[in-house]
Structure 1
């Protein structure tokens, strides 16, 4: 049976060392895709941007620099608070976001209660995944 864990949180889009903007985001973890966390960033009245992160990269990024390429995550402090920096790069541009570390950690703890790390493979249905991949070809 599939289960989901979700979380709404407020991020800061860092524009410069003195300037940032609030960004609302939602995180969703679904046992049907046990290695991934989907993030939706709300950047306007109805505009959204969606990214998919490896859950492991988010978990490691709470304590150590993690990720390569278009997603990099690391812990830091901002204005006296523990935050997680999330750097995103795409063809459209780059963004640096600050997420509250305690909110992100609580979300990841809830995902680990549903699917403990190292047991993700037991939640995959290989026949369904193969059928899905073949249908896309």
Structure 2
């Protein structure tokens, strides 16, 4: 569960599914289940999520930052497509636990050992773009 921040005064909790697949070792996926809408899936770098737990990171469509950089607390995740933005807040602990499980599947820094990533880059980017456009 994450908080969907509609404004400074209004937020509500929504289910968010985090997934990771060894066949796409550099990416994590978050599927947001907003009430009344079809689920929306975003794919972005696993290291971006890891870094964003401790320090503001990301440019462009995905930005992740801790609410209090001096302590492990909550994390804000901002997603943007054109002028449309969505802001979510999650506890850091569930994200750390998720990243720990991904590290057991494919240790950070060892993604390249799963084969010729460059050979499959175009296919991986096509899948990511198709998922984003489907939402």
Q: Same fold (TM over 0.5)?
A: yes
Deviation per CA, 1:3-60: give whole Å up to 9, x if none: xxxxxxx010112222101111101100000000011111125611110010000000
SS in 2 for 1:30: coil
- Name the count of aligned residue pairs: 123
Task: Choose which of 53, 74, 92 in structure 2 pairs with 1:83.
Answer: 74
- Call closer, same or farther: CA 1:131–1:47 in 2, change over 3 Å: closer
Query: Which structure has more strand as a fraction of its residues?
Result: 1
In the alignment, is the contact (CA less than 8 A) between 1:89 and 1:95 conserved in 2? Answer: yes
Match of 1:31 among 22, 39, 42: 22
Counting helix residues as a fraction of each chain, which structure ranks higher? 2
Name stretches of at least 5 consecutive residues in structure 1 with no aligned partner. 1-9
3-state SS of 2:15 partner: strand
TM-score, with normalisation over the residues of structure 1? 0.79
From 9, 12, 24, give the equivalent of 2:3.
Answer: 12
Q: Say if 2:109 is the partner of 1:118.
A: yes
Moved over 6 A (4+): none
Unaligned runs of at least 5 residues, structure 2: 128-135
**Where does residue 100 of structure 2 map in the other structure?**
109
Q: Residue in 1 aligned with 2:43?
A: 52
Q: Give me the TM-score of the superposition, normalised by structure 2.
A: 0.80
CA contact (8 A) 1:32 1:124 kept: no
Q: What's the counterpart of residue 93 of structure 1?
A: 84
Structure 2 vs 1, CA of residues 17 and 30 (structure 1 numbering), >3 Å: closer, same or farther? same
